[in-house]
Amino acid sequence: MVIGLTGGIGSGKSTILKCFKSYGIPVYIADDEAKALMNRSKVIKRKLIHLFGEKAYENNVLNRPYLSSKIFSDKTLLAKMNAIVHPKVASHFKRWLNKQDAAYVIKEVAIIFENNLQSQYDYIITVVADEDLRIQRVMKRDNVSKEKVKSIINNQWSDADKVEQSDFVIVNNDLEDAKKQALKIHNTLLKKLKH
């Protein structure tokens, strides 16, 4: 089974993934793999330079601030970039999946619903947290302003919309409580596999 794990910025997806890893569940983080492929794949590099110009890479490394500034306000450029990167990530995930032998795997993707990818997963877990807490977490983690975090949150689907389409929800306002919720979901998924 492939379980999708999603949630808005600052909801604490990484923390929840650590819980599932501790139960022996293989975890695939799509964003991390996409970044790695954008630096590793000659095909992706060539296409991104064609799309964004030479500034897309600095010293042969992806110039993320430059790309972010380009795609943040330009949905067309973002879609073009995703069309280059997402298929490569998808085929990388397939190869990774074939090597796993756990009861299930978790694929963490920030934008499952935004990209209408629900059908690719057996179940979807959405991680949510109070907005103020999310803002604090991201400001601390990324050293950015409250306004910057709020603009990112406003660009993403609302928690309510995600929750409505999810099979499981983890409320990650309190770590110990969130860990209990993750364990309960893990046990539920194992039961579903037996039926």
Residue list for the binding site for ATP: 10-15
Which residues are 27's β-sheet partners? 106
State the CB neighbour count (10 A cutoff) for residue 69: 11
Residues 6 or more apart in contact with residue 149 via CB below 8 angstroms: 9, 10, 134, 135, 138, 139
Which residues carry a binding-site annotation?
A: 10-15
- How far apart CA 19 and CA 9 sit, in angstroms, is 18
- How far apart CA 32 and CA 119 sit, in angstroms, is 22
Which residues are 105's β-sheet partners? 2
| Six token digits for residue 122 | 């057996």
